[in-house]
Amino acid sequence: MENQYTAYEIILAIKKLQENNGKSPKDGKSSDPIMEIVTPQWYYSSSYEVFNDVELTWENLDRFNLVHDIANNIHKVDIKLMIKGNFEKSFASWYLSYHYSPLKWGIHVRMAALVMIAARFNRSCPSLVFKPVNSVKAAFFYLFNHTLFHHITENASSMMELISSDPNIYGRYLCNVYTQVFNSSNCIEESLANSYLFQRAKQSHISTKYLKAELLGQGAGYEEFVKYLCLDFQKGNRVLLSQIREGNINPSSAEPLEQIMNIPDSQISRGYRIPVWIHEQANPAKGF
Ligand SMILES: [Zn+2]
């Protein structure tokens, strides 16, 4: 179908590849390797899907009551509360992969963080001051764009798995690279995710200088996004994809693998058919 987002085709192909190999897709691990470094009370907490079956454009978000409900109450939020906006690090947003969570894969957002970021934008981001609805939409895209990069990374990993008929490439990368360098300046996937977000500042209606200062205060791995701007973004993607291909923090070569990364795809960038989940409380959920 012309408008159908190809992730579903990739997911089906990966499932088939896993079945054909007759072994666990998880490289001997029974659960998501990221579980070793995160808090399951948030990672797997109860959630509900929002913005279903709509292209996530700036205009389309206006259709949802969720956006207006937050905007109507934005002036009541105490922005001194300690809920930070640094993605996985503060459980503001995170990504669940279809390799490990086929039923709840997608972009996960903590409601309190979305509200807090929106309130901060509304009071201090030059492009958003006294624009509550725009502040909520910008806060959503702030969380969404960073997390979307993790989905693009998983898709690129899947392409490598399909090409080489090896269903364990993504799992090996998570075990041997991502979980080893998370929260350190060597976590290139987080640096690139913030670079991707920063490059989309205009689309998110967030003042560039404001966003840069925000991201530079996020700690190791996240703040290194400044090393991967402009042409260096492509070079960074090349290193990341080589890490994934080899399952090694220090890959032996850096082939032009970024060709399989669907960065400019307009459907992906509009989040078409990528599930978005909202979490309101930290409480372990069953059924994953
Ligand atoms: Zn991240």
Q: How far is the CA of 21 from the centre of ligand 1 (A)?
A: 30
Q: Please give the average per-residue pLDDT across 148-173, as a whole number.
A: 93
Q: How far is the CA of 248 from the centre of ligand 1 (A)?
A: 19
CA triplet 262, 267, 268: central angle to 5 degrees?
A: 50
Q: How far is the CA of 20 from the centre of ligand 1 (A)?
A: 31
DSSP 175: I
Candidate from 42-56, 97-111, 132-146 with smallest mean pLDDT = 42-56
Look at residue 19 in the predicted model and tell me its pLDDT: 83
pTM for the model stands at 0.91
Q: How far is the CA of 30 from the centre of ligand 1 (A)?
A: 23
**CA-CA distance, 117 to 136, in Å (whole number)?**
8
Q: How far is the CA of 53 from the centre of ligand 1 (A)?
A: 24
- Reported as a pLDDT band with limits 50, 70 and 90, residue 287 is very low
Q: How far is the CA of 147 from the centre of ligand 1 (A)?
A: 6
Q: Please give the average per-residue pLDDT across 52-76, as a whole number.
A: 92
CB neighbours (10 Å) of residue 46?
15
Residue pointed to by tokens 């990069």: 149
Strand order in the sheet with 93-96: 45-50, 276-284, 106-110, 93-96
Look at residue 22 in the predicted model and tell me its pLDDT: 65
Nearest partner of 281 among 91, 117, 143, judged by Cα: 91
Q: Please give the average per-residue pLDDT across 178-185, as a whole number.
A: 94
Q: In this predicted model, what pLDDT tens digit does every residue of 220-272 receive, in sequence order?
A: 999 999 999 998 999 999 999 999 999 999 998 777 777 777 665 555 666 66
Q: How far is the CA of 39 from the centre of ligand 1 (A)?
A: 15
Q: Please give the average per-residue pLDDT across 29-50, as a whole number.
A: 80
Q: Please give the average per-residue pLDDT across 78-101, as a whole number.
A: 87
Q: How far is the CA of 92 from the centre of ligand 1 (A)?
A: 10
Q: Which residues surround ligand 1, an ion (CB under 5 A)?
A: 87-88, 190, 193
- Reported as a pLDDT band with limits 50, 70 and 90, residue 66 is very high
